[in-house]
Amino acid sequence: VSNTEHCDVLVVGGGPAGTTCARHLVAAGLDVAILDRQTFPRDKVCAGWLTPPVITELGLDLNDYARERVLQPFTGFRTEIIGGTPVDTDYGEVVSYGIRRMEFDHYLLERSGARTLLGEPLSHMEREGGLWWVNDRIRTPLVIGAGGHFCPVARHLGARPGRDEHPVTAQEVEFRLTWEQQDHCPVEGARPELFFTPDLTGYGWCVRKGGHLNIGLGKAGQHRLGREVSEFCRYLQANGRLPFRLPEKMQGHAYLLYPQQRPRPLFADGLLLIGDAAGLAYPQSGEGIRPAVESALMAAETVVEAAGEYSAGRLQPYAERLAARFGPRRAEPERMPWLPRSLKHSLATHLMSNPLFTRHVVLDRWFLHRQQPPLFP
């Protein structure tokens, strides 16, 4: 029996980028299959913070979503530089949501309307006569790489994760609080807590979502993350933010922020990268779901316009759309490299203990991106 599959578009990766792109291509009448190495529901290392434009861009029906899933509204934040004085910012309205990726990604996958090929990694791809043969059995004119940071399609295009790239690395744990822990946990669901590292190259977080707690820390640059994460947990325990031991080990992951000194190639004949595979997360906050969804929308628009002719030239508008939305992909040299690190640090410590700066710059601009309306509202 032949198990050969044909499709108009093969999306590799069923995360937010892949399912969003697939959904729009299905709506445009294309036969789309999503290939993922995992079976769903599957977990994903992520704090699960969604900013409101994501809800708009996904056309998410929050009532439907929340019927059987965790949806935690956030109305404020507590921020501090580790060891400094916390600043509480209260918006008096919902400014973000907390979700569990296990539930969220499964919901988006089922809603996409695409065929699913789950539990099968992309292990091999080859081009023959203008078509791709994936895993020697799936035949398609277009492969969309949405496989996250280590996406095999990105590797095929020349990306070398762990070699000549500079990702953020992060560790995180999410677990269900016992009833007793729920009573004693001082972190409020409506007010996630952010803890910036003294060198300002990253931050830790405590995010409570219903009866779950998510704790983690992510940083850019060369460092010993494991040690920093342990110190962060000890700090939380010493300050009463975490009045019990973590029940599980932290999970680690890496991903690229936008822009990069050496951006990954984005497209080629019959190939396109979206989401983390393309390295798009916001540089100040590390938010990656919104750029993943937006890149998926821009990719879908480009693919529909290409009308079945997927040469690199026909896919080029995707790169132009990304640059118009997120700016140039190549990072510029560091600003003010002559400014001593200690001075930058004391300046930042001073600014970040100021409630107005925290609200209008750190939260509104860097974390909530309130200055940038949703794509295709």
Q: Can you give the binding site for ligand FAD, defined by CB under 6 A?
A: 12-18, 35-38, 44-49, 121-122, 146-148, 150-152, 170, 172, 216, 218, 253, 255, 275-277, 281, 286-290, 292
Q: Which is nearer to ligand FAD, 281 or 315 (CB)?
A: 281
Tell me the residue number closest to ligand FAD, measured at CB.
Answer: 288
In 3D, which of 273, 282, 283, 363 has the Cα closest to residue 318? 273
Q: Which is nearer to ligand FAD, 154 or 185 (CB)?
A: 154
Q: Which is nearer to ligand FAD, 113 or 355 (CB)?
A: 113
Q: Whose structure tokens read 């999503």?
A: 34
CA distance 255 to 140: 28
Q: Residue 312 CB, nearest distance to ligand FAD (Å)? A: 22
Q: Residue 183 CB, nearest distance to ligand FAD (Å)? A: 26
CA distance 140 to 8: 6
Q: Residue 169 CB, nearest distance to ligand FAD (Å)? A: 8
Q: Residue 292 CB, nearest distance to ligand FAD (Å)? A: 4
Q: Which is nearer to ligand FAD, 12 or 185 (CB)?
A: 12
Q: Which is nearer to ligand FAD, 216 or 374 (CB)?
A: 216
Q: Residue 149 CB, nearest distance to ligand FAD (Å)? A: 7
Q: Which is nearer to ligand FAD, 117 or 306 (CB)?
A: 117
Q: Residue 33 CB, nearest distance to ligand FAD (Å)? A: 12
CA distance 289 to 187: 24
For the chain, how big is the Rg over CA atoms in Å?
A: 21
In angstroms, how far is CA 141 from the centroid of its own chain?
A: 27
Q: Residue 212 CB, nearest distance to ligand FAD (Å)? A: 13
| Phi and psi, residue 19, nearest 5° | -70, -35
Q: Which is nearer to ligand FAD, 169 or 358 (CB)?
A: 169
Q: Residue 346 CB, nearest distance to ligand FAD (Å)? A: 28
Q: Residue 313 CB, nearest distance to ligand FAD (Å)? A: 25
